[in-house]
Amino acid sequence: MDSTDPGTSAPLLGEPLPIELMNTIWADRDGVHDAIAGPGGAVAWLRAVGPRLTPSAPAIGAWLDAERPAGAEEAAARLRGLRDALRRLAAEATEDPRPDAQSAIGTRDAALAALNEACGATPVWATLHWPSGGDPTRIVRTSDLAGQAVVAMLAGQAVDLFTGDMRPQLRGCPAPGCVLYFVKQHPRRAWCSAGCGNRARVARHYQRHRVTKTDPGS
C-alpha cells in the first residue's frame, strides 16, 4: 500500500469511488486483507471517502458522524457484497488472471444481480430548497436507512463506471502480489501506484540477475 487514511487500512489512491471500494481488498507480505471485514472497518472506510460522495446527503453525513451509526453491521454486509460484485465485474472487464484477486462472488450473473439489487436498495432523491430572498439550492434526501442509502449511491456510481468511458481503461495492477485495480488515465501508467512500480522493477532486476548467475554459459 502507498496511501492510506488514518481511519482505514484500505489504500486510497484517488481512483473513482467504486474502484476505491474494490481496493478494500488489498495485499502485503503478510497476505490478502479485507479492510471492511467488520462494521468498524466499513464505517471507517465510508468516513474516509465521505467527502467525495456525490451527491452528498445530510442524512448520510449525520449517520457517518454518529458515534455508533445505526445499522452499521447490515450496512457493512451490503458494502462487502457490493465490493465483491464489483471485483467480479472488474475481473470480467480486464480478463484478470491474478488468482489472489479473485472475488468471493463466483459468476458474472451473480455479480450483476448483486449490483442491481444494491442500486435499488434505498431511494435517494433530490429536493429543491428556495428560501424567500435567497437562491434556490439542490438538497439530496434519503430514507431513514442512511447506511443502505450510501451503498446504493456507490452502486449507482459503479453502473456509471462500467457503462462509461473509463471501463476500457480499467486495469488490474500486474505488480507481484498486488490485488488492486486502477484506471489507466495516462498512456505510460502501468501500475496502481509508484510503490508497485518500484516493486515490479526490483523483481525484474532480481530475476534477470538470478538468470545470469545460473546460466552455465555465463
Question: What is the pLDDT at residue 142?
Answer: 80
- The pLDDT profile of the chain, 218 residues, written as one tens digit per residue, is 456 566 899 999 999 999 999 999 999 999 999 999 999 999 999 999 998 987 778 888 899 999 999 999 999 999 999 999 999 999 999 999 999 999 999 999 999 999 999 998 877 788 898 999 999 988 888 876 889 889 998 999 999 999 999 999 999 999 989 999 999 988 889 999 988 988 767 666 456 555 555 555 54
Given a contact cutoff of 8 angstroms between Cβ atoms, the answer to whether 171 and 181 are in contact is yes
Question: What is the pLDDT at residue 3?
Answer: 61
Amino acid letter for position 44: A
Question: What is the pLDDT at residue 1?
Answer: 46
Per the structure block, which three cell numbers stand in for 150?
450510501
Residue 155 per-residue DSSP state:
H
Given a contact cutoff of 8 angstroms between Cβ atoms, the answer to whether 202 and 209 are in contact is no
- Phi, psi (5° rounding) for residue 150? -70, -35
Given a contact cutoff of 8 angstroms between Cβ atoms, the answer to whether 144 and 155 are in contact is no
Cα gap 7→22, rounded to integer Å: 17
Helices (H) and strands (E) in the chain, counts: 7, 6
Question: What is the pLDDT at residue 143?
Answer: 74
Question: What is the pLDDT at residue 197?
Answer: 80
